[in-house]
């Protein structure tokens, strides 16, 4: 019985942790959207900033991956 | 088999061959992964740094120099072609102006010749006309005197035939006055 | 929680194990896995080496002036990483280009080989990516101190900030510096693991006739995304290595 409650808590926690990935999605969307709006205003400067955009995407995405990892840990490793 | 299903193969795999927990966190496997990763990275590094990267760098440099050479050669050929075109254009213009000069000269000469021929012909024609007019006048004079003589003779004969006698002088005077009248 | 209850549940109904694809097992026979045991990790890392040899050695063996397909791809990879190192880390980072190329080629080939059905994704394991990230971290730190001496600490002491803020900023900078290998490794492993696990979950749904068409469409879409992610994560790993290398070579902000 006690084990079942712990398991339920772990699964609920995993589900809640997955909401963090939505935040990462918003973040990646902001990075790319701002890059594109800037690139449309000044297309000549866009090519030089592609690498910066990818670094920004990587940082924003890493946090979503962390929340996904927390969810996986709760489901499989707790 | 029933016994083996109960048996746990290792700390991270249960009797059914499924993972217990996350395989990524299984400590038993990490040494193996790290060892083979290090081996793989060393092999890849040796392949890349000893053979592949120098070779690709060489190929790229070769291509760059070939392209540069070809570009220089094409630049030279282009300048040569431009030079040739300039020569050609110049020759063409020269020939054109020469031709038009020749054309003008021959035209003027021809005009002059024509003019002289026309004037010569005019002169000849006027001489001929004068001669003709003179001969016509002569002929007319001759004809008039012939007519007068014939008229006098005829008049004398007619007078004689009518039975009158007339001296020649009177008749000729009368005829002459009639003709002139 | 997983160890006691599960064996009895295994045999019935819709059961899927999205994490089973990450199990390390010996290639020959069975038994305990020692550090020298030849496992599927060995196999798939070896296949990435084979792929590298095919692409970078066999493909370029003709040294053709007008490249064929394999040689074009090899030259493309070379030019891509070389330009990235030059642009991001600066010209004086070019001597480190073979190391970054090694990391990039290993990650990109492992990621793509992991996309083959029934394959094993070596880069989805934290142990693998952590070794690479810690290696980058140590190398960058050593390079920073060798090239700049004590001046490397100016990376943490931001002279353009107001004096009062500098200690707090230094603390933040030091923490972020030591968190680098963690995020560097978990980003790659997490991305690869997440994509493969999600594909596996959708594959399990395909067992139900009603939603199996939807499941197949979802697998296809996820697979396309994974192809993109495979490349982008290798690119991101390499470009972050370049960024850290730039910090080590030019610590002054």
| Distance of residue C10 Cα from the nearest chain A Cα, in angstroms | 15
On the question of pLDDT at C5 being above 80, the answer is no
Mean pLDDT of B17-44: 87
Distance from CA of A27 to the nearest CA of B (A): 27
Within 8 A of C190 by CB-CB distance, chain A residues are 62, 65-66, 68-69
Chain C residue with the nearest C-alpha to that of A74: C1
Q: Which residues pair with C39 in a beta bridge?
A: C26
| The pLDDT value given to residue C15 | 63
B45-99: pLDDT as tens digits: 999 999 999 999 999 999 999 999 999 999 999 999 999 999 999 999 999 999 9
Domain ranges of chain A: 14-77
Token pair 């045991």 is found at C37
User: How many Cβ atoms are within 10 Å of A3's Cβ, its own excluded?
Assistant: 10
Contacts of A76 in chain B (CB under 8 A): 19, 21-22
CA–CA gap between residue C143 and residue C132 (Å, rounded): 16
Q: What token pair was written down for C79?
A: 């030019």
- Please check the confidence at residue C11 and state whether its pLDDT lies above 60: no
Give the pLDDT confidence of C101-151 residue by residue, as tens digits: 999 999 999 999 999 988 999 999 999 999 999 999 999 999 999 998 888
Q: Where are the domains of chain B?
A: 2-21+28-180
Q: Which residues of A touch C (CB under 8 A)?
A: 3, 6-7, 10, 51, 54-55, 57-59, 61-62, 65-66, 68-69, 72, 76, 78
The residue of chain C nearest to residue B49, with distances taken between CA atoms, is C98
Nearest of C239, C191, C44, A14 to residue B36 by alpha carbon = C44
Quick: pLDDT tens for B84-129: 999 999 999 999 999 999 999 999 999 999 999 999 999 999 999 9
- Interchain contact, A58 vs C240, CB within 8 Å: yes
State how far the alpha carbon of C36 is from the alpha carbons of B27, B56, C24, C39, C208, in Å.
15, 34, 13, 9, 42
Supply A47's token pair.
Answer: 């090519």
**How many Å from the N-terminal Cα to the C-terminal Cα in chain C?**
49
Instruction: Identify which has the larger pLDDT, B174 or C226.
Output: C226
Name which residue leads in pLDDT, C26 or B19: C26
> Choosing among C6, C23, C67, C76, which should be mutated to test the B contact, i.e. which has the most B CBs within 10 A?
C23
The answer to whether the Cβ–Cβ distance between B32 and C128 falls below 8 Å is: no
Could you tell me which chains touch chain B, where touching means 3 or more CB pairs under 8 A? A, C
**Which class would CATH give A14-77?**
mainly alpha
What pLDDT shows up at residue B2? 37
Mind telling me how many Å the CA of A77 is from chain B's nearest CA?
Answer: 4
Chains touching C (3+ CB pairs < 8 Å): A, B
Whether A72 contacts chain B with CB within 8 A? yes
pLDDT at residue C1, rounded to an integer: 40
Residues of A in contact with B26 (CB under 8 A): none
């Amino acid at each position: 019985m006690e084990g079942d409650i712990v398991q339920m808590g772990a699964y609920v926690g995993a589900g809640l942790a997955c909401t963090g990935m939505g935040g990462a999605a918003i973040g990646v969307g902001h990075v790319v959207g701002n890059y594109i709006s800037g690139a449309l205003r000044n297309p000549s400067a866009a090519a030089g900033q592609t690498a910066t955009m990818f670094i920004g995407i990587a940082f924003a995405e890493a946090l979503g991956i962390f929340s996904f990892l927390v969810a996986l840990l709760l489901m499989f490793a707790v | 088999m029933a016994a083996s299903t109960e048996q746990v193969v290792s700390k991270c795999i249960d009797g059914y061959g499924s993972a217990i927990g996350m395989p990524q966190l299984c400590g038993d496997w990490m040494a193996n992964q790290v060892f083979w990763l290090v081996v793989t990275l060393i092999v890849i590094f040796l392949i890349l740094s000893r053979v592949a990267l120098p070779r690709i760098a060489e190929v790229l440099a070769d291509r760059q120099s070939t392209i540069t050479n070809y570009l220089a050669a094409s630049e030279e050929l282009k300048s040569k072609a431009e030079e040739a075109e300039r020569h050609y254009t110049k020759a063409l213009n020269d020939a054109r102006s020469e031709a038009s000069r020749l054309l003008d000269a021959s035209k003027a000469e021809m005009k002059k010749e024509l003019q002289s021929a026309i004037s010569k012909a005019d002169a000849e024609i006027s001489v001929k006309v004068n001669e003709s007019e003179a001969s016509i006048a002569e002929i007319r004079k001759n004809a008039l005197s012939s007519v007068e003589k014939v008229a006098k003779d005829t008049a004398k004969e007619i007078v004689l035939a009518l039975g009158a006698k007339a001296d020649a002088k009177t008749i000729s005077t009368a005829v002459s006055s009639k003709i002139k009248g | 929680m997983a160890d006691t209850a599960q064996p009895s549940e295994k045999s019935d109904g819709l059961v899927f194990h999205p994490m089973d694809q990450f199990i390390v097992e010996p290639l020959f026979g069975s038994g305990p896995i020692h550090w020298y045991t030849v496992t599927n990790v060995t196999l798939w890392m070896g296949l990435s080496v084979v792929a590298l040899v095919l692409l970078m050695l066999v493909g370029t063996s003709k040294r053709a002036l007008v490249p064929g397909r394999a040689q074009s791809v090899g030259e493309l990879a070379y030019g891509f990483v070389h330009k990235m190192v030059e642009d991001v880390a600066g010209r004086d980072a070019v001597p480190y280009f073979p190391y970054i190329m090694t990391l990039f080629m290993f990650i990109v080939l492992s990621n793509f080989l992991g996309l083959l059905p029934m394959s094993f994704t070596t880069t989805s394991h934290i142990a693998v990516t952590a070794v690479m990230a810690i290696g980058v971290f140590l190398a960058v730190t050593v390079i920073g101190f060798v090239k700049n001496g004590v001046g490397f600490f100016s990376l943490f002491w931001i002279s353009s900030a107001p004096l009062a803020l500098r200690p707090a900023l230094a603390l933040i900078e030091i923490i972020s510096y030591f968190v680098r290998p963690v995020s560097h490794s978990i980003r790659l492993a997490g991305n690869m693991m997440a994509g493969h696990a999600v594909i596996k979950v959708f594959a399990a749904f395909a067992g139900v006739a009603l939603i199996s068409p939807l499941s197949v469409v979802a697998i296809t879409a996820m697979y396309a995304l994974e192809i993109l992610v495979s490349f982008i994560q290798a690119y991101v790993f390499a470009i972050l290595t370049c960024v850290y290398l730039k910090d080590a070579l030019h610590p002054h902000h």
